[in-house]
Amino acid sequence: MMKAVVCTKYGPPEVLQIREVEKPIPKDDEIRVKIVATSVTAGDVRIRGFKVPVWARLPFRMQLGLLKPKQAILGVELSGEVESVGKDVKRFKQGDTVFGTPPWMIFGTYAEYICLPEHESVLAIKPDKLTHQEAAVVPFMSSGALYFLRKANIQEGQKLLIYGASGSVGTYAVQLAKHFGAEVTGVCSRANLDMVKSLGADHVIDYTKEDFTKSGQMYDIIFDAVGKTSFSRCRRSLKPKGIYLTSNTTLSLMFHILWTSVTGSQKIIGGTADASADDLNFIKELVEAGKLKPVIDRQYPLEQIVEAHRYVDMGHKKGNVVITVGHDSNT
């Protein structure tokens, strides 16, 4: 048996309960990871609370579960140690320290153990210079930032604005954009200006004091990393062939994507990020070279998962929230 956080139904953080569940047994192509740390992402919070647009509720319920998540154990990031491997596993061995994410739309890291298929999962050997707590918050959000920047074909010398630069995606986007040679402007609250600048941003804007769309500055790329702005609002700050990036897909955005593809030279890229083991290894190289670092706001033990979700629900976290998984001697 093992401890895991079970999402009993859709709702507030209190629907999360710690229970004893069966410890998974790896299949021939799987590894079993003893999880040391995981995270609370905005996606975890949205699934738990079923916070999706009205137009998307039926398809999401069909995919995730009608009254409660089909996958009762949430969580999409981990860092830990390979405890055992199936007979067909080639890349990993018992004792390896790994970090990564389960396959697309598979959860389960809010637990002491998880079994992951070797090839479908996004896994790599953990960077030596990161603790498990630091490594656990790298795979999902950094891969998302990398995905969108590559989709925009970011180039050296381009001017890029990141709205929500102090968030979990934004903090990685700032660092990755600087690695690619862009001139980066970060938009965040006053309390986070210094932190965003320390990550490499060339310019910072306090959104409570200044509206970047009225500054007259024009950008090659505007990346809404938190889903709190819109193409309509940002388009006048985009260059004629500028690109607007967002992971927040709405009906309005879908209309604009179709409209601009026919009538305009500006481009919108939305949707959901995809990641691969190659992406994670690229990110790992940047971490080891000192060019990418995780930003951790708060850490909670697994037993305080409800409090952690309450905090993320507030929408003001800086970087990432870590969950440390303690292991009893009998697990």
Whichever domain contains 310, its CATH number is 3.90.180.10
Specify the amino acid at residue 226: V
Q: Are residues 149 and 249 in the same domain?
A: yes
Q: Are residues 26 and 145 in the same domain?
A: no
Q: Are residues 202 and 118 in the same domain?
A: no
Q: Is residue 38 assigned to a domain?
A: yes
Q: Are residues 172 and 77 in the same domain?
A: no
Specify the amino acid at residue 177: A
Q: Is residue 329 assigned to a domain?
A: no
Q: Are residues 6 and 52 in the same domain?
A: yes
Q: Is residue 7 assigned to a domain?
A: yes
Separation between Cα atoms, residue 296 and residue 30, nearest integer Å: 30
Q: What is the pTM of this model?
A: 0.92
Specify the number of domains making up the chain. 2
Q: Are residues 113 and 157 in the same domain?
A: no
Q: Is residue 281 assigned to a domain?
A: no
CB-based contact 63:150 (threshold 8 Å): no
Separation between Cα atoms, residue 2 and residue 128, nearest integer Å: 27
CA count, 13 A, side-chain hemisphere, 24:
24
Q: Is residue 285 assigned to a domain?
A: no
pLDDT tens for the 331 residues of the chain, in order: 999 999 999 999 999 999 999 999 999 999 999 999 999 998 899 999 998 766 667 777 887 888 889 999 999 999 999 999 999 999 999 999 999 999 988 999 999 999 999 999 999 999 999 999 999 999 999 999 999 999 999 999 999 999 999 999 999 999 999 999 999 999 999 999 999 999 999 999 999 999 999 999 999 999 999 988 888 899 899 999 999 998 765 545 454 445 555 456 788 888 778 889 999 999 999 999 999 999 999 999 999 999 999 999 998 899 999 999 987 644 4
Q: Are residues 264 and 150 in the same domain?
A: yes
Determine which helix (DSSP H) or strand (DSSP E) holds 234, and give its type and residue range: helix 231-234
- How is the beta sheet containing 159-163 ordered, strand by strand? 203-206, 183-188, 159-163, 219-224, 238-246, 267-269
Q: Are residues 133 and 152 in the same domain?
A: no
CB-based contact 4:110 (threshold 8 Å): yes
Residue 178, domain CATH: 3.40.50.720
Residue 238 lies in domain: 141-269
Q: Are residues 166 and 103 in the same domain?
A: no
CA distances from 254 to 27, 179, 265, 269, 273 (A): 40, 30, 16, 10, 16
